[in-house]
Amino acid sequence: DAAVTQKPRYLIKMKGQEAEMKCIPEKGHTAVFWYQQKQSKELKFLIYFQNQQPLDQIDMVKERFSAVCPSSSLCSLGIRTCEAEDSALYLCSSSQLVEQYFGPGTRLTVL
Amino acid sequence: AQSVTQPDARVTVSEGASLQLRCKYSYSGTPYLFWYVQYPRQGLQLLLKYYSGDPVVQGVNGFEAEFIKSNSSFHLRKASVHWSDSAVYFCAVSVYQGGRALIFGTGTTVSVSP
């Protein structure tokens, strides 16, 4: 079974603070994705890495987030200055071909 | 642009009854199609996928889905639900091979009553 790991599982930040969350993709997977999910509903795509290189991202990520994959076994997603609207579940997935396998997510609460 | 529609936000069924969750996509070709399930406080788990071939695909835990190209649909079915099937179900599509973002529907919350 696929096993994508995400840490921490829960993160609480004050408005204006920096936040960072990590993802360990499934071994052998070359693609990593980050999604944002609010209210347990629709998933919003944030950024996509292929072989550790960012290939696609939405404008919000370019403006306020920082995302890197320093190795094939570790990726991180950061928020430079947290805002209340950033409170959400951040899901990381990895893929070798087409189907994606998801981690349990990091639940960020911004107070 | 591609899109996925799940018209039913919430479905309630009795344990042992059958279940069908609807999904329609917007894309001129044949996309890669998926159903994922999300249990409370967890990530998404892949239930089944369709790439090509037999339009009826089997998944885990007794789920199956049928691809109907003429209707641009990929409905999920289960013959007899269990209380543990209570979860949120997402339909998703990908139009690329080799790693691209999935396009998700808004999800259907399934509640199984005893």
How confident is the model over A64-89, as pLDDT tens digits? 999 999 998 999 999 999 999 999 99
Contact B105 A42 (CB under 8 A): yes
Mean pLDDT of B14-25: 97
- SS3 of A86, please? helix
- Kindly give, in sequence order, each residue whose CB lies less than 8 Å from that of residue A59, ignoring residues fewer than 6 positions away: none
What is the per-residue pLDDT for B97? Answer: 53
Mean pLDDT of B13-41: 92
Q: Are A48 and A61 in contact (CB under 8 A)?
A: no
Write out pLDDT tens, residues A6-65. Answer: 999 999 999 999 999 999 999 999 999 999 999 878 899 999 999 999 998 889 899 999
Restricting to A residues 20-59, those with a Cβ less than 8 Å away from any Cβ of B are 30-31, 33, 40-43, 45, 48, 50, 56
Mean pLDDT of B82-104: 85
What is the per-residue pLDDT for B18? Answer: 97
Q: Is the peptide bond before B7 cis (omega within 30 degrees of 0)?
A: no
Of A33, A56, A98, the CB nearest to B32: A98
Whether residue A1 is predicted with pLDDT greater than 50 in this model: the reply is: no
Q: Are A60 and A18 in contact (CB under 8 A)?
A: no
